[in-house]
Each structure stands twice: as structure tokens, then as C-alpha cells.
Structure 1
Amino acid sequence: MKIGFIGAGNMGRAIANGLVAKGVCQANALLCISASGKGSAIMAEQTGASIASSKLELIEQSDIVVLAFKPQHLETISEEEATAASGKLVVSVLAGRSLASMKDVFPDAANLVRVMPNTPSQIGKGVSTFCFEKVPSDEQKETVEELLASLGTAYEVVEEQLHVATVINGCGPAFYFRIAQLISEAADKRGLDKDLALRLAAETGIGSLELLLASKRDPKDLIDEVVSPNGVTHALLTSLDRQGLPAIIEQSTEDAANRSIELSQNKK
């Protein structure tokens, strides 16, 4: 099974690196090409992938075609290149590009897959959400799940759910990074070394979220185990609620999901 990457930026390279590192495929099964040639050169150096001379050559020689370039360049795929993808699985990590817009470009693909990965995929700790254009065969589903497992974990959703899922797993890393940044800055103002505060915030976050997953308990129950009446944690949570954190999260989720819908509609 040959996998071709059109585009070789951070996400394309993360997938390729993961496939090789986890033994999903050998380096000689990977092909890549990028607009400037820089990304494909890096991917080739990191993974041993071959660099295709053209997109047409790459598509012709690949069983699976991964679209990992800038979303606005989808329509630059030529009719000849689209024809070469007939009967093949086309996987897109193009933000905001709907399955309908992919279908317009690749009408005869065996199936189309839209994926929303996230940046922790670079270290194999990613969370991806994905959807198929049509009901997949068992082989297609297994192939996509295996491919995305090279990045971390993956969950199938229907396309309409991808907007909200994007807010969680796509935007989520920036949210947690922002929280860690604000915590470390607030601690620094109060005399705690900023680098130490950042480590405390990051490691506490990792441990807490791993406990949430491992325990399979409601977050409210885990909160109750930390809070003592009129204690420090109680003061923290009371202050957060008083300043409107629940409303902020609700409105931010709504705004981000609406923006995802808007971008998708603008690009069909």
C-alpha cells in the first residue's frame, strides 16, 4: 500500500513520521511533494519517503492520497490529477474544506475522508476526529483508523458534528496552552519562578486529565474530592464562577463553532 502526501508541512510530516515509527508502513511506501520543495525535502530526510516529480505522478503511484496543503489550494488540482485519483481513497486534513467541496474536485474517488487532527499529533499524542463522504467498506475504515492511530487517538463523527468537535480537539490545544500561560504569568507576579509555574501547570493538567479518563467519573465528582468548604480551591472556583467562566466557555464554544460553519460554507 503506497501513501502519497500532497503537501508536507507539520501535519503531513507528523502523519508520515507516525506511520513509519509505528511500523504501519515502510519508508519506501511513502511519496510526497510540496509547493516549494522544502517541506518534501524535510519529510524525505525524516522518514525516507520518496519525492514525486509531480502531483500527477504521486497520485498515479499512490493507493491513498493525503491532502495536507493550504485549504485554499484545493481547486488547483487539475482534471487530469483528479482522474488519476479515481477509485482511490482521498484523505483531507484541510481545515474548513467540506466533503462536498472535496467531491467537486475528486468525483470518482473510492471514498473521501475529512480529518481534523491537532498539534499534539507531532509527538504521537494527538486526538483526531474524522468523517467519510459515504459509508466506508471495512477495509477503508480499518485503513483510516490505522493511519490516524499513528497520530494518537481518533474518533469518527458525522460531518455536522465536526464543527463542535473542531472546537474541542482542533482548537483545544491553544485553549490549554493559553490557560498554562495565564497561570504561569499570574504565579510569576506573586513570586513563583515562571518556568517552575509553567511546569507545575502543565504536569498538573496532564495528571488531572489522565485521572479523569482513567476514573471514568463525572468531573463534578472529581472536583468535590479537591474542594474543601471555604478552602483555597473553593475560593478559586467561586472566583471563576463569579467572574463568568461558565458563560465565557459557553459563548466561546458557540463563536468558534459558528466560525467553523462559516468557513466551511464559504468553501462549499
Structure 2
Amino acid sequence: MNVGIIGTGNMGKILIEAFIKSSAIKEQNLYIMNRTKEKAEQIQKEYPNIHVVDTAKDIVNHTQYIFICIKPLDIYPLLREIEPFLRQEQCIISITSPISVKQLESIVPCTVVRVIPSINNRVLYGNTLLTFGEKCPIHHQHFIEQLMSKISTPVTIEENITRIASDITSCGPAFFTFLLRRFIDAAVSETEISKEQATLLATKMIIGLGQLIEQEVYTLETLQEKVCVKGGITGEGIKVLEEEIGDLFHHVIQQTHAKFQQEKEKINEQFCL
């Protein structure tokens, strides 16, 4: 089964690398293109059996499943460009959250699916968020679920939780990396530890924390209880966190949702909604 990827920026490249690393798709079954062809050709240097093509029409002509990995406002013009060449048995897969499957279905004659990946998929981990179009047949659903299960744990979601689910799975790595870096910076600023030592210790700590949760040794609640001995040093640190974090994450979610709404309004203008 041939798979096409339009757009080889950050997420497009992550999907390509993950599909090949997991053996989900053979190199010779991947067709890729990018507006700047050199970017796609750089990927081909790593994976020489991948097909680099010149146009989106070439992707449509050679593949059955077509991942669209470009900026949200560029998707509508692209769909208009390729719509005359799409076949009913094909499947369009968008990776952007502001465009709904209903909007995609209003443009193209084929099946549509939305798959929201995460940077964690690069190491065959984390989640991918799936939303299927109303007309998506079972065989397409099964193929997408099986494909994404090779690089992640796929989770099917409804439209109304798209943004918050994306915040947790896709934005979460950036949010918590930011917090970890601030933790390291504070350690270096307040003590004599070097940045290299602090970074090593914090990195190993977060990996170990993930393993404790992954292996179900502790839940999030019981883990904190095990570390935070009553009257101990950790408890004093928790007090500061409780006092100073406040509504921080409420504000983060409010901000991402506000930006999401702005993008949706621009997209709705394109789709005349």
C-alpha cells in the first residue's frame, strides 16, 4: 500500500522517520513532496528508496493514503488544487487540529481522517489522536488505526475535545520541557551545581519517573505520596508549588484555546462557514 506525505517540515519528517523505523511502511511505498524540494531530497539521502515527487498531483496519482502535513491556512488551497484528481477510494489524512473532518469532507470526494501526532511518535511512543469522517469506511479506519499503532497508542476522540487533547499530547512535551529547564536553571542559579550536572540529573529523573508510571509501579497520586514524607524537605517544596502555581495551567489552556479559536475563524472564512 503506497502512502503519500505532502509537507516534510517538522511533523511530516517525524512521521516519515517513525513509519520507517517501526517498519510500518517500507521506504519504496512512501511518496513525499515539499514546496521546497530540497527538504524532501535531504530526507531521501537518509532513506534512498523513498520516492520524491514534484507536485501534490503526483502524490495523488501514486498513493492511496495521503497525509497532509502543511500549515492550516495552506490546506484549503491545496485541497482545491488536488480535488479534481482524487479518487473515491482514496483517503486524505490531515494532521492539523483547527480543521474539522466535516470541513475536509465538504471539499474532497474521498474519505477523510484527522490524525494529530506528537513529537513522542519519533521514538514510537506517546499518543496519536484520531477523528474519522462520517463517510470513512471500516477498512480505512482499521488501516489507519493499525498504521498509527506501530508508532504510538492511537486514541479516537470527538471534535469537542480536539484542542485540549492536543494540548496534552502534542503541546505537553514542550510545556513540560520548559518547566524542566526552569527547574535546572534555578538549581544552577541557587547552588554550586553545574548546568551539565543538573541537566544530567534532571534528565535521568524524568526518564525514571516515566518508567515508574509506565510500569504501573505507582500512580501520579501515590508517587507523590511516596516521595513526599510528612514534615520532610520535599513537603516544603510542595508547599511552594501549591502557593505559586495557582491557576498557571488554567491560563495555559485558556491561551491555547483562544489561539485555536482565532485559527478556526480564519479557516471558517476559507470554507465559507
TM-score by length of 2: 0.88
Counterpart for residue 116 of structure 1: 116
Instruction: Report the 3-state secondary structure (helix = DSSP H, G, I; strand = E; otherwise coil) of the residue aligned with 1:191.
Output: coil
Counterpart for residue 151 of structure 1: 151
8 A Cα contact 1:7 1:39, kept in partner: no
Counterpart for residue 97 of structure 1: 99
How much has 1:148 moved relative to structure 2? 2.0
Q: Are 2:252 and 1:252 equivalent residues in the alignment?
A: yes
8 A Cα contact 1:128 1:155, kept in partner: yes
Instruction: Report the 3-state secondary structure (helix = DSSP H, G, I; strand = E; otherwise coil) of the residue aligned with 1:114.
Output: strand
Counterpart for residue 129 of structure 1: 129
**Partner deviation per Cα, 1:12-61 (whole Å, 9 max, x = no partner):** 12212222222222211111111010221123222321112321121021
The answer to which of 234-243 and 54-63 deviates more is 54-63
Q: Are 2:37 and 1:37 equivalent residues in the alignment?
A: yes
The share of aligned pairs that are identical, in percent, is 17
Paired residue type of 1:94 = T
Instruction: Report the 3-state secondary structure (helix = DSSP H, G, I; strand = E; otherwise coil) of the residue aligned with 1:242.
Output: helix
Instruction: Report the 3-state secondary structure (helix = DSSP H, G, I; strand = E; otherwise coil) of the residue aligned with 1:215.
Output: coil
How much has 1:138 moved relative to structure 2? 3.2
Paired residue type of 1:130 = L
Q: In 1, Cα distance between the equivalents of 2:222 and 2:135?
A: 39
How much has 1:219 moved relative to structure 2? 2.0
**Partner deviation per Cα, 1:185-204 (whole Å, 9 max, x = no partner):** 01111111112212222221
Counterpart for residue 235 of structure 2: 234
Structure 1 unaligned runs (5+)? none
Q: In 2, Cα distance between the equivalents of 1:60 and 1:80?
A: 13
8 A Cα contact 2:33 2:54, kept in partner: yes
**Partner deviation per Cα, 1:223-259 (whole Å, 9 max, x = no partner):** 111111221110111111111x242122322332343
Equivalences for residues 14-93 of structure 1 within 5 A: 14-47=14-47, 48-77=49-78, 79=80, 81-87=82-88, 88-93=90-95
Change in 2 beyond 3 A, CA 1:104/1:260: same
Change in 2 beyond 3 A, CA 1:67/1:212: same
Counterpart for residue 262 of structure 2: 262
Q: In 2, Cα distance between the equivalents of 1:44 and 1:3?
A: 15
Runs of 4+ in 1 over 3 A off after TM superposition: 135-138
Change in 2 beyond 3 A, CA 1:218/1:199: same
8 A Cα contact 1:183 1:197, kept in partner: no
Equivalences for residues 166-177 of structure 1 within 5 A: 166-177=166-177
How much has 1:79 moved relative to structure 2? 4.3
Instruction: Report the 3-state secondary structure (helix = DSSP H, G, I; strand = E; otherwise coil) of the residue aligned with 2:36.
Output: coil
TM-score by length of 1: 0.90
How much has 1:216 moved relative to structure 2? 7.3
Paired residue type of 1:4 = G
How much has 1:209 moved relative to structure 2? 2.7
Counterpart for residue 221 of structure 2: 220
Paired residue type of 1:203 = K
User: RMSD of the alignment, in Å?
Assistant: 2.0
8 A Cα contact 1:98 1:267, kept in partner: no
How much has 1:262 moved relative to structure 2? 3.4
How much has 1:78 moved relative to structure 2? 5.8
Change in 2 beyond 3 A, CA 1:115/1:78: closer
Instruction: Report the 3-state secondary structure (helix = DSSP H, G, I; strand = E; otherwise coil) of the residue aligned with 1:112.
Output: strand
Q: In 1, Cα distance between the equivalents of 2:6 and 2:259?
A: 26
Instruction: Report the 3-state secondary structure (helix = DSSP H, G, I; strand = E; otherwise coil) of the residue aligned with 1:97.
Output: coil
How much has 1:221 moved relative to structure 2? 2.0
Q: In 2, Cα distance between the equivalents of 1:90 and 1:216?
A: 40
